[in-house]
Structures are given as structure tokens and as C-alpha cells.
Structure 1
Amino acid sequence: MIATNTGGARLIRYGGVRENLMDLQAVLVEPAGVLVGSERSLRKDNTGLIWAQLLCGTFGAFGVVSRATLKLHPIQRQSATALVAVPDTKAAIHLMCELEAEFGEMISAFEGLSAGALDAVRQHQKNVTVPFQTTPSYAVLVEVSSAIPPGRGLDLEAMMMAWLERRMEAGDLEDAVVDKPAQLWRIRHSVSEAVQSLGKILAFDLAVSRSQFAEFRDAALQLVAEIVPAAIACDFGHLGDGGVHLNLVVPAETAPEKIAQLRDAVYDLTVLRFEGSNSAEHGIGPYNEGYYRRYADPQTRRLATLLKGRFDPSGLLGNVHLG
């Protein structure tokens, strides 16, 4: 997790691993077996190079993390969760802004779910109930939470219900279901397995700025329709931080050159037009190494080559050439 700086469904509240990494120790291969880093776990240290920041998110290419200290957060004593149907992603982004204005730092998740993702769960996860009678065009899973125990002047469920009623009256949403968190989160966590049951998957792990998310998604789906018209979009992900798992179900007989064309087009759209990331959470890996070379700026690649040559001259670590 440290090597890939992984995120997660509650990144909007807690950040990724990098934001929660206080200190680490790692073993180098050059000089062989040398231990670097510390166990001081200081919250403030501006004395120069910090190994935790150098090694986090570099895919294990410079050293092997052997010990780490992570920041802890208070246990949340109460929460309120809702699955909200909206007409499109533009409405979802507007709803998120309204949620932030109402709940501020108590927001712990804002997860987007397309109609294709919800239909996949409905069809292939018989033990999971999608509560809408008709599948909405788009839905968001909203969670707010607090470390303040119930009965101390804060009632999140009542606040959530009142906020949803106001948003319904304002026309910001089409429907909403408030249920036990575990029931609604089962829908979100079932998407990946359900989509895999539909057939051949072409998966993208992308991120753009939140303000451009709706425009980006529309443009991406338009590309998909032009290049592989029969593809079914089952996208979902961390809408609160601009991340999306754009999973496409493509016919098994789709030509490899069409797959390659679609992959290139979606990545170019993400990085070149919307200045986003073609690997938001899952790192590079050998499969996407060519795209790393395609999009990484020359100075970053040059510096990565210098560091790799210094820390791992024999190429023993990692499986990606960062230069």
C-alpha cells in the first residue's frame, strides 16, 4: 500500500497513504542491506530529505519498505448513509458541493455509481438489493460520520434526512434511500465482481479534477460509443476526489486493434485534454509502462532514471522502467 500510495472509498475524508504516512524504514539493495529512514514518527520535520515521501508511491523501485508508522484517526461513533439517485453526473457534482456546504469535514464518502454498474449488481448479485424500483441514470453513495457519540447534541441521521428533504424540494435529486450503512455499502463493494460476470472487461483507473468530472465522463462515453458501439459502461468510483473506475464490458469478438484504439483514445482524453491521471490509484506496472513513457514529462523521467541508477543499478527492484 505504501509502495503504490493506494487510495480508497474514504479518501475524501482521510486522504491516501501518503497523507497518513508519518515515518518509515526501508532496506536498500545498493549499498546492499543498508537500512534507511527512522522510527521517530515526528509530525513536523523539515531537516531535508524525508524517506517516507521519496519511497511512497514509487512502486518499490528504489527500496523495500520494512517498517512504517501511520497516523491514526478517531473511531467514528455515528454515521448516516444514503443512496441518492440523480439525473446525471453534473447533478451529482452539484449535490456534492451542497453536501460540503452542509456537513463540511464530516463527509467521509461520496461514491458514484452508473446505471450500468447498478444493473450489473442487480443482475448478478442476488443477495444484494438495489433499492430503486427503476435503475437511475446515476447514483451516489453518501456517508457522513463523526467521532462525537450520539446523544451529545449531534444527530447525523436527522441532519441527513432534513438535508435530503431540502435537496428533493430544490430538485437536486430524484430519489433517496436511507438505510443501514452495511446494506448500502454492499451495493458499492459488489460492483467489481458483478461487472466481471458480464463478460470481457476493459478497465481504466482514472482521475480528473472534480470540476471537470461531468464533462470528462460525457466525452469518454462518446469516445466509447464511436469506437466500440456495443460496449457497456459500468463506471463507478470515488467521485468525491475525482476518481473513476471506468469499466467497459466489450463483446468477446472485439478486434484487438479496436481495444488498443479505445485504450489510447481514453488515455489521451484523460491526460492530454483534461490534464488528469491515467493511473489514479493502482500504480504503473508493466502493463501500463508504455503509457508512462507516453505521458510523463522528460524531466520527471530523467530524474527517475538517475534515482533508479543510484538505488538499484542492477534492476533488482520493481518491474517497471521509470526512465
Structure 2
Amino acid sequence: MTSPSPEALTALKSALGPGGWTDDPADIAPWLTEWRNRWQGNTPLMLTPRSTEEVARTVRICAEHRIAIVPQGGDTGLVGGQIPHGEVLLSTRKLRAIRDVTPLDDAMTVEAGVTLLEAQQAAAVANRMFPLSLAAEGTATIGGVISTNAGGTAVIRYGVMRDLVLGIEAVMPDGEVFHGLKRLRKDNTGYDLKQLLIGAEGTLGVVTAATLKLFPIMRSRATAVVGLDSPHAAIDLLAKAKSETGGGVEAFELMKRLGVEFALRHIPDTREPLDSSAPWYVLIELVSGEPGGAEAGMERLLSAAFETGLITDAAIAQNDAQRAAFWKMREEQSAAQKPEGGGWKHDVSVPVSRIADFLDEATAAVERFYPGARVSAFGHVGDGNMHYDVLCRPGADLSAFLARWEEGSRIVHDIVARYDGSISAEHGLGRLKTDEARRYKSPLEIRTMKAIRAAIDPQRIMNPAVLF
């Protein structure tokens, strides 16, 4: 791929006009570093198109001049896939329209730069719910969560982003627009291009808009935090919750005591979730279409769990403020680790039935490999996704510890693979895991993915350093 010539850069600037681009290093700098500060990127030009047509215009110019492009949404990704390293940076943040909300179709169409929180709010105005929720929802954009196939906290009930998209509009690598904004639940007419674009991390085109599934607003909701002795008890409690509520479990989030201690130490306005301390905690959220149904279900569940010894303590949120406090403890788990120093980060998934076994085996292996390492595990145990983070022991040489990230992560990922899991559950591969994934993907999978990419982007101008 060639570096952009002065003529090409001039053509891109002219195509977007004033306000549609910047080459000012000060303006670009905030968008060249990801949240974990692992990558510091660079770009000769940041494009900020305001419409699908402007995106198409710029991609056509890039295709003509063989200029590589890195698409970027809210820059909340954690694997470096949105950070340019010499490529042109194409930001979709100015694609801001909520094009329509159609309650009878349980659907809405929004542009790629709309934040996840704004999409949720637009759905609520129409007395509907868009269920995808994650800690960065005030910044993460629809285009970004589609491109990474984000999961979040309600996957157990509603699925990942792939399950929530009805249609997509995207600019393909040659600049042609794919007009795929359908509201259909059924369309059995061959290959589904939108599904290729979901989770492609910007390698097959630039998502500019999407039609999303909406759901009825539940008439009751109950949130609780419980203490448990082990992840094995958590898995048993999950099974009981599913049986007790008949599918009413919307969130089931596991946290280790160490992560709770980090949050209490470093995050303002957090407090102990329970009167007693426990080795592990689960945040449970139940919903029901019947008034009072979720509250009654929670009471039954917790009573039965106490009787059988599955849980040691519990607290049910009595109001929105208490519910928010419970969720803050969970959502700040990553942020609470930062003051403790760097760590080996893992976003992995295994079958739900194997989560507890994975945690036992991986922790024992990591502690043998690096004595004194601190494991802070948390995540969406209801769908098998754990954020398994390994932090340096206090007082140890942090640089030396971080230098062993790749070796330590290989131990964790090999265990994940033996459990038929995935080394990337919801963050994608990006720059962080693309090479690592070659170890775990079959030759057939890699060969097929390369063939698809070559057919759609033969010049490989779209996010060229990411995926195969």
C-alpha cells in the first residue's frame, strides 16, 4: 500500500470540503490512542464525512490512489483495530441521524455515528427498548459496535450485536454503496452480506447506517448482588435462575473479590455491595412482562439459593440509585485496575458449563508461571464470556512483568482452546490478537476468510493490518 501522495490528499480534502477533514496534529491526537494506551498511532489526515455520499466519495478516491483506510467510531475498542499507523483515518462520528423509528416493525434505522446510549434513548421515546448495553455506551457508536460485533451485559437474553441487526448500509472498498437497510426478520435469498460486515472490524467496508431490532419494555425489573464461595456455585445459581424465571434472566455478571476491592479502593462513590465479604459476587438482573413479576421471581430465586447453600449473602436493589450502584461496581472493574499497574488482558469465552473449570485451571497455571500474580476475573458468565486479567504482584518490576504478556497469555489461550472456547469473545482481534488467532483458527477458516476479503477488497485498502 502506498503512502498518500500530495495530489491524493488534496483530492480527499476537496471531496469533503471545510469541516470534513483535518490534518492538525492537535485535533487528531485524541483519536490516535486507545483506552489502554497500548498503541500510539499516526495518520496524515483524518476524514470526518457527514453523509454516506461523502464516505463513498472519499473511499472511491482512496481506491483510485491505493490509499489504506482505518475506519473509526467512538474509539472505545480495546484491541487496537481502530488505530491508524500511517493509514488515512476515516471517522464516522459525524454520521449522526436517527433516520426513523418504527414501533410496529420493532425497528429503527440510525447512522453509524449515533452512540449506543442515544440509540437506547431514541428507542425509549417510542416505548421500545434497544437492549445492547455496555460500560462505554455513552461513547461507543453504532458503527463501531457493529464492526466489532459487541456483546455487553444482556447477551444471555437478547444476543450479541449480530443478533440485533436487521439491515446495514455500507460503503464497500470500491466506493459503491450497499443499500441493505431492510426491516425483515426473514430473507432467505442466499448469502447475507450484512452478516459478513458485522464483526469484520472495518476490513470489508465502512458501515454508515443500520436498522436495529427493538423490543417491548419490560414491565418489571429486579436487580440483586449475591455473595458466593466459588464460580462453581455461580454456574449452579445460573441454572436455577433460568429454571425459576422461564427465560427472565437479562444479566448474570460474575466478579471476583479482588476486583471489588480494586473498585472500592480507586473508584469514587463505590461501597461494599453486601454486609459480609465473599470470595465471589454475582450481579443478577431479572425482567418480566408482568408488573411485579421480576421482583417475585427474584425473591423465589434467592430464597431457594439460600436454602440450598448456593449463596452466602444477598442484597436486592430497592430503587434506581441502588441499582445504579450495583452496576457501577461491575462496570468499573476495568477502570479500577488501572491504578494497580498494567496487566495481561484476556477477553475469552468458553461454554458456560466449563467457566468454573476454566477459572480454576487457568488461575493455577498462571500462578505457577508467575508466582504472586493477581488474577482479577469478571464478566458475562451468563453467556460464557470472561474478562480474565492478570496483574503484577505489588512491588514487582512492572516492565519485566509486561514483557511476559505474550508468553503468559499463550498459557491462558491454550486452556481456552482445549475447552473449545474463543480467544476473543467480544472485543475482536484488532492488532492485538490477529497474529495470535492464527494459532487457533484452522487452515480452512483462515483460507476462506482470506478469499472473502480478497474478493471484496482486492487492493486490501480497508484496515489492512487487521484480520487475515
Q: TM-score range by the shorter chain?
A: over 0.9
Within 5 Å, give how 1:227-238 maps onto structure 2. 227-238=369-380
| Kept after mapping to 2: 8 A contact 1:12/1:108 | yes
Q: 1:132 to 1:39 in 2, by over 3 A?
A: closer
Q: 1:101 to 1:260 in 2, by over 3 A?
A: same
> How many matched pairs?
316
Which residue in the other structure is 1:165 paired with?
A: 303
| Kept after mapping to 2: 8 A contact 1:61/1:320 | no
- Greater shift, 19-28 or 237-246, is seen at 19-28
- Greater shift, 187-196 or 83-92, is seen at 187-196
- In 1, the alpha carbon distance for the partners of 2:190 and 2:399 equals 55
How far is 1:186 from its partner? 1.4
- In 1, the alpha carbon distance for the partners of 2:190 and 2:448 equals 18
1:167-186 CA-to-partner distances (Å, cap 9, x unmatched) read 10111111111123212111
Counterpart amino acid of 1:33? G
Within 5 Å, give how 1:190-209 maps onto structure 2. 190-209=332-351
2:162 aligned with 1:11: no
Counterpart amino acid of 2:369? I
- Partner of 1:295, secondary structure, is coil
| Kept after mapping to 2: 8 A contact 1:118/1:135 | no
2:405 aligned with 1:263: no
- Greater shift, 280-289 or 306-315, is seen at 306-315
Within 5 Å, give how 1:211-222 maps onto structure 2. 211-222=353-364
1:19-74 CA-to-partner distances (Å, cap 9, x unmatched) read 11111121112xx2212242232111101121111211111111111221010011
- Partner of 2:176, secondary structure, is strand
| Kept after mapping to 1: 8 A contact 2:225/2:274 | no
Greater relative contact order (Cα < 8 A, sep 6+)? 1
- Partner of 1:33, secondary structure, is coil
Given candidates 422, 430, 434, the residue that maps to 1:277 is: 422
Given candidates 287, 295, 308, the residue that maps to 1:145 is: 287
| Kept after mapping to 2: 8 A contact 1:37/1:51 | no
| Kept after mapping to 1: 8 A contact 2:147/2:200 | yes
Given candidates 40, 50, 54, the residue that maps to 2:196 is: 54
Given candidates 233, 236, 244, the residue that maps to 1:94 is: 236
Given candidates 427, 432, 452, the residue that maps to 1:307 is: 452
2:165 aligned with 1:21: yes
Counterpart amino acid of 1:284? L
How far is 1:321 from its partner? 4.8
**Identity, % of aligned positions:** 34
Which residue in the other structure is 1:84 paired with?
A: 226
- Partner of 1:23, secondary structure, is strand
| Kept after mapping to 1: 8 A contact 2:240/2:301 | no
1:233-253 CA-to-partner distances (Å, cap 9, x unmatched) read 111000000100011111415
| Kept after mapping to 1: 8 A contact 2:430/2:467 | no
How far is 1:208 from its partner? 0.1
Which residue in the other structure is 2:328 paired with?
A: 186
- In 1, the alpha carbon distance for the partners of 2:233 and 2:465 equals 39
| Kept after mapping to 1: 8 A contact 2:170/2:208 | yes
- Greater shift, 294-303 or 311-320, is seen at 311-320
1:200-251 CA-to-partner distances (Å, cap 9, x unmatched) read 2211000000111111110110111011112111110000001000111114
- In 2, the alpha carbon distance for the partners of 1:256 and 1:203 equals 11
2:443 aligned with 1:298: yes
Instruction: Give structure 2 stretches of 5+ with no counterpart.
Output: 1-144
Given candidates 316, 320, 323, the residue that maps to 2:461 is: 316
How far is 1:2 from its partner? 0.9
Which residue in the other structure is 2:49 paired with?
A: none
1:271-302 CA-to-partner distances (Å, cap 9, x unmatched) read 1x111000000111112111121111111111
Length-normalised TM-score, structure 1 = 0.93
How far is 1:133 from its partner? 4.1
Counterpart amino acid of 2:407? Q
Which residue in the other structure is 1:247 paired with?
A: 389
- In 2, the alpha carbon distance for the partners of 1:75 and 1:59 equals 31
- Partner of 1:2, secondary structure, is helix
Which residue in the other structure is 2:62 paired with?
A: none
- In 2, the alpha carbon distance for the partners of 1:97 and 1:20 equals 25
- Partner of 2:311, secondary structure, is coil
How far is 1:259 from its partner? 2.7
Q: 1:190 to 1:77 in 2, by over 3 A?
A: same
Counterpart amino acid of 2:159? G
Q: 1:131 to 1:256 in 2, by over 3 A?
A: closer
1:87-140 CA-to-partner distances (Å, cap 9, x unmatched) read 100110000000000012211000000111111112112411122344311110
| Kept after mapping to 2: 8 A contact 1:285/1:319 | no
| Larger-Rg structure | 2
- In 1, the alpha carbon distance for the partners of 2:207 and 2:249 equals 32
Counterpart amino acid of 1:294? R
Q: 1:322 to 1:182 in 2, by over 3 A?
A: closer
How far is 1:322 from its partner? 3.4
Counterpart amino acid of 2:262? A
How far is 1:3 from its partner? 1.0
Counterpart amino acid of 2:384? G
